[in-house]
Amino acid sequence: MLTIIHHPLIEVKLSIMRDAKTKSKEFRESLDEIASLMSFEVFKDLTIHDEEEMYETPTGAKLHKKKLDYKIILAPILRAGVGMVDGVRNMIPTARIGHIGMYRDEKTLEPIEYYFKLPVVENPLVVVVDPMLATGGSACLAISAIKKRGYKNIRLMCLVGCKQGVDAVEKMHPDVPIFLAALDEKLNEKGYILPGLGDAGDRIFGTK
Q: What digits encode the pLDDT tens for the residues 60-114? A: 999 999 999 999 999 999 889 999 999 999 999 999 999 999 877 777 767 788 9
Q: How confident is the model at residue 2 (pLDDT cuts 50, 70, 90)?
A: very high
Q: Quote the crossing angle between the two packed helices 24-42 and 82-89, to the nearest 10°.
A: 60
DSSP state of 205: H
Assess contact for 103 and 111: CB atoms under 8 A: yes
Which ranges of 68-115 does DSSP label H, i.e. alpha helix? Answer: 82-89
Which pLDDT does position 190 carry in this prediction?
Answer: 81
How does pLDDT run across 13-29, given as a tens digit for each residue?
A: 999 999 999 999 999 99
Share of the chain above pLDDT 90, in %: 84
Candidate list 3, 86, 96, 199, residue with the active-site label: 199
Instruction: Choose, from 3, 18, 96, 104, the residue flagged as catalytic.
Output: 104
For residue 45, indicate whether it is catalytic.
Answer: no
Identify whether the C-beta of residue 3 lies closer than 8 Å to the C-beta of residue 158: no
State the CB neighbour count (10 A cutoff) for residue 143.
24
Radius of gyration for the chain, computed over Cα atoms and rounded to the nearest angstrom: 18
Active site residue 3: no
86 classed as catalytic:
no
| Of 3, 50, 202, 207, catalytic | 202
Output the pLDDT for position 140: 95
**Catalytic residue, candidates 57, 59, 94, 108:** 108
H-helix or E-strand spanning residue 132: strand 124-133
Q: Would you say residue 125 has pLDDT above 70?
A: yes
Q: Kindly list the structural domains of the chain, giving each domain's residue range(s) and its CATH number in brackets, ordered by start.
A: 2-46+68-205 (3.40.50.2020)
- Catalytic residue at 149? no
